[in-house]
Amino acid sequence: MQDNAFQNLKKALELHSQVLHAESQAISAKDLTTVEEILQRKDESLEFLITAKDFYEQSSSTNSDLEKLIQDVLSHQEKNTENFRKLHIQKESSSNKNRLSNSLSDRVSRAYRR
């Protein structure tokens, strides 16, 4: 059971890491439509990650490899958040005249302010 919990958590972390990587690419490409689509996938992978983490905590002690993977995922998320903020600031300053077309940008921005 402990090994199964470890494998599930590891799989969840790897999945979430892949989603974060896709998110990084979309942010770099300044593709807000793709960022919004990835946010939906990210919510799902985060839900899976939380469930796997809870199951793992109930059945095991900590593992250094897993701790490193967790720190990598957290670090990646922090970088994505910062890069998105920079993108949003750039978009906001260059498109103040296009207020009506910013609804997608506003929704994605609110997702990062949570």
Instruction: Supply the pLDDT for residue 31.
Output: 92
Closest CA to 92 of 114, 108, 77: 108
Q: What is the rounded average pLDDT of the residues 59-78? A: 83
**Secondary-structure breakdown of the chain: helix, strand, coil percentages, each rounded to the nearest 5:** 90, 0, 10
Using CB atoms within 10 A of its CB, is residue 32 exposed (0-12), middle (13-18) or buried (19+)? buried
pLDDT digits (tens, 9 = 90+) for 12-49: 999 999 999 999 999 999 998 999 999 999 999 999 99
pTM for the structure as a whole: 0.72
Give 72 or 103, the one with higher predicted confidence: 72
Residue 56 pLDDT:
85
CA distance 61 to 50: 16
Q: Can you give the pLDDT at residue 100? A: 44
